[in-house]
């Protein structure tokens, strides 16, 4: 907590247009802090600001971002909380991968030193748990986006190989990852059949290998799949070796029984978590005939 406060103090000494690191370091011993902060504390605080991403370090200079102004405009306690969260977001600690579950935090799995830090900076238990859960979801979202892109590329590669093996390299060239153009179509990849018709493929990639995989399907994707007879869900998974493999596929109408339903006129679901068993999928890619 002391070093987080030192970081806020160091941030107040930086010019908006940039401050050279030697000039910043020279100013630390001269700043009146009532003996609260040693110059070395301010140096550590400066590094925390860089690590949190609110100060950029380049060619021996420190450049504040707009986020630093917002940070310094908060009450000290709120600013320390936010600075800690920003730091954890950019440097995800190993304990967060085992201690922060989908709907709860197992504080007993957090190392004592870091747990003490969390307790001192965010003393309110419910708020501390809420911030850690929100942070984990944000980090998981970024990781899932990268994983999803790898899955889509794997399906594009597999669909092209499928058509090339059938002696149609001309059709293989028409396989496209349309999610790069828009993520609102309700499908990610367009791949032709041997007749030249389009298979519209929504790709979902599970982060762990197993007999049952967890995926998320949006309402838009489900609606497109329900109405379009040429829409397919293709599920991929990350293997233990770190590769992406195509597991199998399903038609949109086959998913209807596992999708949620709107229970009241004033509320409707927008995204659903589905547990997909490998046994319910047809292996490989949708047929090209």
Q: Which of 21-30, 154-163, 257-266 has the highest mean pLDDT?
A: 154-163
Give a yes or no: residue 111 inside a domain.
Answer: no
Average pLDDT over residues 141-170: 91
pLDDT in the model for residue 280: 92
Give a yes or no: residue 102 inside a domain.
Answer: no
Q: Write 87-96 long-range contacts (CB < 8 A, 24+).
A: 87/48, 87/51, 87/52, 88/135, 89/135, 89/138, 89/139, 90/51, 90/52, 90/53, 91/51, 92/139, 96/132, 96/135, 96/136, 96/139
Q: Is residue 210 within 8 Å of 152, Cβ to Cβ?
A: no
CATH number of the structural domain spanning residue 207: 3.40.1350
E strand or H helix at 67: helix 66-72
Summarised one tens digit per residue, pLDDT across range 270-283 is 888 898 899 999 99
State percent of the chain over pLDDT 90: 46
Domain final residue pick, 78, 102, 125: 78
Give a yes or no: residue 215 inside a domain.
Answer: yes
Residues 6+ apart with CB under 8 A from 167: none
Per DSSP, the residues of 124-143 read: -HHHHHHHHHHHHHHHHHHH
Domain final residue pick, 58, 78, 98: 78
Tokens describing residue 203: 């790709």
Instruction: Based on the fold, state whether residues 155 and 30 are members of the same structural domain.
Output: no
Look at the chain and report how many structural domains it folds into: 2
Instruction: Based on the fold, state whether residues 248 and 154 are members of the same structural domain.
Output: yes
Compute CA 143 distance to the chain's CA centroid, rounded to the nearest angstrom: 4
Instruction: Based on the fold, state whether residues 55 and 172 are members of the same structural domain.
Output: no
State percent of the chain over pLDDT 70: 97
Domain final residue pick, 26, 58, 78: 78
pLDDT in the model for residue 146: 87
The average confidence (pLDDT) of the chain is: 88
Q: Is residue 13 within 8 Å of 27, Cβ to Cβ?
A: yes
User: How many CB atoms are closer than 10 A to CB 159?
Assistant: 27
pLDDT of 97 strictly over 80: no
- Domain extent, residue 29, equals 1-78
């Amino acid at each position: 907590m002391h070093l987080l406060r030192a970081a806020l103090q160091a941030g107040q000494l930086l010019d908006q247009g940039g401050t050279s690191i030697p000039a910043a370091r020279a100013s630390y011993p001269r700043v009146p802090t009532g003996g609260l902060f040693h110059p070395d504390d301010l140096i550590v605080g400066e590094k925390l600001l860089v690590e949190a991403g609110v100060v950029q370090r380049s060619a021996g200079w420190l450049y504040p971002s707009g986020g630093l102004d917002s940070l310094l405009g908060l009450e000290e306690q709120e600013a320390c909380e936010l600075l800690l969260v920003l730091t954890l977001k950019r440097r995800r600690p190993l304990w967060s991968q085992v201690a922060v579950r989908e709907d709860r935090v197992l504080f007993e799995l957090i190392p004592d030193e870091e747990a003490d830090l969390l307790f001192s900076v965010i003393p309110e238990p419910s708020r501390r748990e809420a911030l850690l859960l929100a942070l984990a979801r944000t980090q998981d979202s970024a990781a899932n986006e990268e994983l999803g892109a790898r899955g889509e590329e794997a399906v594009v590669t597999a669909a092209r190989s499928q058509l090339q093996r059938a002696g149609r390299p001309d059709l293989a060239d028409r396989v496209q990852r349309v999610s790069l153009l828009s993520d609102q179509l309700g499908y990610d990849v367009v791949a032709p059949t041997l007749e030249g018709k389009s298979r519209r493929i929504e790709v979902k990639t599970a982060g762990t290998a197993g007999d049952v995989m967890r995926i998320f399907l949006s309402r838009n994707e489900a609606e497109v799949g329900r109405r379009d007879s040429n829409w397919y869900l293709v599920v991929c998974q990350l293997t233990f070796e770190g590769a992406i493999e195509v597991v199998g596929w399903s038609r949109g109408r086959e998913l209807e029984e596992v999708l949620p339903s709107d229970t009241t006129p004033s509320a409707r679901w927008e995204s659903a978590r589905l547990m997909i068993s490998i046994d319910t999928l047809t292996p490989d890619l949708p047929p090209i005939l």
